[in-house]
């Protein structure tokens, strides 16, 4: 039996096959999984290989670059949540995303959900230029929201709103305060007040299909 293409293995694990033809409710369930705390599991062996730099050749194609970004940006957040390792892939994922925006790989992707995860490292990786990167992310997310299939626009407007929310947090603090405890950083009094407020951007959840009157698949 022929071995399965590992790039396709990663993409199919993260993006439900057939999503381009799926109904509205299926897309809402996918967003709930991705951004609601129950992200799909990505292959642990490939994630470890990506972090070790063994899969860099994947960056030669748009799909390979996207798969590598998922392994570096999303897989550690799921596997190592609550530990500093959750952010270990951020610098490499950021470099891959920025290169892909320059070399045409981002534009070569067909679907808004692919493009969303392609540019997320620009919003995730902390650094002195994070505010400027979030301005770019906000603009790209807004383009996706305007061009998405009409029934999916609430989801991509949510993504654009999140980018604006994160931009406001970074403009205020220069970093993500919710990472302070995990990374062993002392919080300022203002950051403590923000964290105690409960109004945390990263905890916002996408609109539920039920709230939009959608029926479950097969219902």
Confidence class for position 205, pLDDT limits 50, 70, 90: confident
CA dihedral (31, 34, 66, 54) in degrees, to 10, reads -170
- Return d(Cα 161, Cα 6) in angstroms, integer: 33
Gap between the terminal Cα atoms of the chain: 37
What is the predicted pLDDT for the residue at 209?
45
Residue 117 in contact with residue 209, Cβ under 8 Å?
A: no
Mean pLDDT of the chain: 90
This prediction has a pTM of 0.91
What is the predicted pLDDT for the residue at 201?
85
CA 149 from chain centre, in angstroms, equals 20
pLDDT at 217 over 80: no
Query: Where is average pLDDT lowest: 20-34, 99-113, 129-143?
Result: 20-34
Residue ranges and CATH numbers for the domains of the chain are 6-210 (1.25.40.10)
Residue 28 in contact with residue 217, Cβ under 8 Å?
A: no
Q: How many residues does the chain have?
A: 219
């Amino acid at each position: 039996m022929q071995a399965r293409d590992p790039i396709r293995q990663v993409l199919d694990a993260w993006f439900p096959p057939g999503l381009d033809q799926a109904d509205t409710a299926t897309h809402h369930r996918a967003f709930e999984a991705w951004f609601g705390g129950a992200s799909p599991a990505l292959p642990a062996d490939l994630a470890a290989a990506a972090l070790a730099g063994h899969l860099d050749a994947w960056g030669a194609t748009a799909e390979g670059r996207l798969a590598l970004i998922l392994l570096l940006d999303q897989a550690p957040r799921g596997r190592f949540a609550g530990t500093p390792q959750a952010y270990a892939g951020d610098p490499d994922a950021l470099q891959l995303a920025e290169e892909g925006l320059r070399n045409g790989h981002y534009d070569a992707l067909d679907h808004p959900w692919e493009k969303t995860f392609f540019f997320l490292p620009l919003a995730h990786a902390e650094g002195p230029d994070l505010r400027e990167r979030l301005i770019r992310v906000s603009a790209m997310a807004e383009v996706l929201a305007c061009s998405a299939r009409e029934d999916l626009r609430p989801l991509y407007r949510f993504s654009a709103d999140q980018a604006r929310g994160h931009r406001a947090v970074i403009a205020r603090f220069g970093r993500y305060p919710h990472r302070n405890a995990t990374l062993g950083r002392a919080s300022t009094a203002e950051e403590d007040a923000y964290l105690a407020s409960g109004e945390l951007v990263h905890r916002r959840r996408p609109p539920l299909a039920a709230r939009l009157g959608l029926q479950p698949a097969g219902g």
